[in-house]
Structure 1
């Protein structure tokens, strides 16, 4: 029987597996990562590739290794050193560098050998251990760590779903079947969503296609170099957050997130593309859409826009990630949830004596940074401390 089964092989799951092996009594044979994809970090790579991301939004000290300066040291190796490895502010790493560093950590610590390819279907409470049912087998573990992301629940506006049913080319940048390098159009491409994914995508499409891009967002694109104020990483804001009742924490998380914002360098790049007449930034709320000669005719509160094809960068549905089994587990284990549906957990990130969480599921303890790489690092410090007791 395993000591720890981690469900989810993304940034959080891989970082936690690495930390548990290095910082607790758990050995290689004690830990496994259950993930349905061909390799660990597959979904992170797919999402980064599909939106055309070149640089991360997080700083160089946020990565999957343990030592905060591991990425900087890796970048300084003669065969890795490049002027383009980092960008201001806070030495944000390139996707190329970050991904290469991830591969180095996974390879050096044999983390891929922990990977069980499969998807959790049910969790069962056996008091002294948890049974995780997959299509292929049942895996028993003393503890389970839920490291689920949001990538399986992209947000589709109702009008976009209808438009796709009419035969118009409509994709979501985070849909499993979407490939940015396969995007083709000789007419205007509508990118819906003004946050960092929409910005990355718009710039990549202007590079890749000889077609005008309409970047349409409900509010004007604004600058915020990070997803949240840096004070949320340390005690400046989190002390007040921890003192707040659970019922108030969701409001604080929503207010703290710089939703729809882009870093300063991206805003400059968008403005330059607009000056070259490759890109038009439109602030409008799309309320209706029709198919017109195979293209999309979008109607907003401010005007009408014709696009040959649409790519949504509308983010994810803001609900608790389920992974196909969490609703069942809530009933089976009688797990407590807040009004927003997210777990009510201990400071050690335990939802149950046998179940730990990280990522979005840990938001009501970790705060607005929970989904980010720094959130994975906060989770690892709490969970490893709990297992050392």
Structure 2
């Protein structure tokens, strides 16, 4: 039986594994990460490639290593030679630097040997721990940590879903089978969304694509350096958050704090400058009706401008739906009697324990960690809470 089984091989799962091993409380032989992808950090890297991300939004101290300034030290080492460094303000790392550091952390802790290719299907109680069933068999562990992303909770507007079902070229930039490098030919692409992902995607399409690009945003550009006030990283806001015992009110606080649909000022500036190119336009509006005009065109009726857009490719940069990620967890909620808030998310203790043998990270931990739970800072906070609670 394993001591720890981590479900999810992204940045959150790798950081927890590194923390557990560095603490000396767990050995590599008794730890396992399971993930359905053959390459490490596969979902993170697919999503960042698809959006054309160049620099992270978060500062240098938010990474998957152990020491706060490990990424800065790595950037000054020969291992980082040839990649961009940091961008002001807040010393935000280049994506290439961050990714290379992730690989270095994985290698330094020997996490490749701890990783198995598998998709979790069910979690059930077993003698002395939990059993995780997958298509490749079952694993038993004294402790299980959920470090899953929100890939099964993508936000699809109803009109886009209907077009997709009709066979139209409509894709969500975060869906598993989409790759910006292998899109069908297009002349006029529509990017739907008003935040950082939409802006990055639109800029990447204009830079590399063959035709016109329209970014359709439901609102004016919202400039915020971070997607939540830095006060949420410490007691400034968390004191009041943790004092609130009602999970419904905590959920409301998270919704109010999270700056959905925003982008950092540097990206907003790049977007405005790019509008000098006649191939790019930004429209503040929303689609009220959509249809397939012919084999090569989609007809999208807008609400405010009362006009129709003709495009031949739609890319959704609409983020994630608010429902709890991890549909396979429905079974565990029933069989293990896991407590959930009215919003469907886990009710956990301060050590992120959902069950005596089950911990959570990422979105699943946000009713305890707060609005930054999904971010790299949230990964660090969650791993710290879990590891420091171990005897």
Q: Same fold (TM over 0.5)?
A: yes
Q: Find the aligned partners of 2:170 and 2:83 in 1 and give their Cα distance.
A: 38
1:33 has 2:33 as partner:
yes
**Per-residue deviation, residues 176-218 of structure 1 (Å, max 9, x unmatched):** 1111112354421100011111111000000011311110011
Equivalent residues in 2 for 1:48-63, closer than 5 Å: 48-63=48-63
Q: Secondary structure at the match of 1:124?
A: strand
1:49-95: CA deviation from partner (whole Å, max 9, x where unpaired): 11111111100110000001111111112563568411112011111
**How far apart, CA to CA, are the structure 2 residues paired with 1:211 and 1:266?**
22
2: distance between equivalents of 1:115 and 1:357? 19
- What whole-Å deviation, never above 9, does each CA across 1:291-349 have from its counterpart, x for those lacking one? 11231111121232111111111111211111x42000001110100010000000000
Q: Paired residue for 1:248?
A: 249
Separation (CA, whole Å) in 1 of partners of 2:84 and 2:266: 14
Which of 79-88 and 224-233 deviates more? 79-88
From 334, 341, 353, the counterpart of 1:331: 334
In structure 2, how many angstroms separate the alpha carbons of the residues matched to 1:243 and 1:125?
Answer: 33
Other-structure match for 1:299: 301
Which of 325, 330, 346 is the matching residue for 1:343? Answer: 346
Q: Does the 8 A contact of 1:225 with 1:263 survive in 2?
A: yes
Could you tell me which residue of structure 2 aligns to residue 206 of structure 1?
206
Determine helix, strand or coil for the equivalent of 2:389.
helix
Where does structure 2 lack aligned partners over 5 or more consecutive residues?
A: none
Query: Counterparts in 2 of 1:221-240, with a 5 A limit?
Result: 221-240=221-240
The TM-score, its normalising length taken from structure 1, stands at: 0.97
SS in 2 for 1:215: strand
Counterparts of 2:59 and 2:82, CA distance in 1: 17
Larger CA deviation: 299-308 vs 230-239: 299-308
Question: Counterpart of 2:112 in 1: which secondary structure?
Answer: helix
The question of 1:376 aligning with 2:379 is answered yes
What do the CA deviations read for 1:232-286 (whole angstroms, capped 9, x no partner)? 1111111110001222100000110110001111101110111222311111121
* Alignment partners' CA distance in 2, 1:105 and 1:387: 22
Secondary structure (helix, strand or coil) at the match of 1:141 reads strand
1:153 to partner: Cα distance? 2.4
Secondary structure in 2 matching 1:365:
helix
In 2, distance between residues paired with 1:320 and 1:72? 34
Moved more, 149-158 or 7-16: 149-158
| Offset at residue 163 of structure 1 (A) | 1.3
Which of 324, 337, 348 is the matching residue for 1:320?
Answer: 324
2:166 maps to what in 1? 166
Matches within 5 A, 1:75-224: 75-78=75-78, 80-81=80-81, 84-126=84-126, 128-224=128-224
Q: Is the 8 A contact 1:171 1:312 kept in 2?
A: yes
RMSD value over aligned CA atoms?
Answer: 1.4
Structure 1 ranges of 4+ moved more than 6 A: none
Question: In 1, distance between residues paired with 2:137 and 2:163?
Answer: 40
**Which structure 1 residue ranges, 5 or more long, are not aligned?**
none
Say whether the 8 Å CA contact 2:80–2:100 is kept in structure 1: no
User: 254-263 or 292-301: which moved more?
Assistant: 292-301
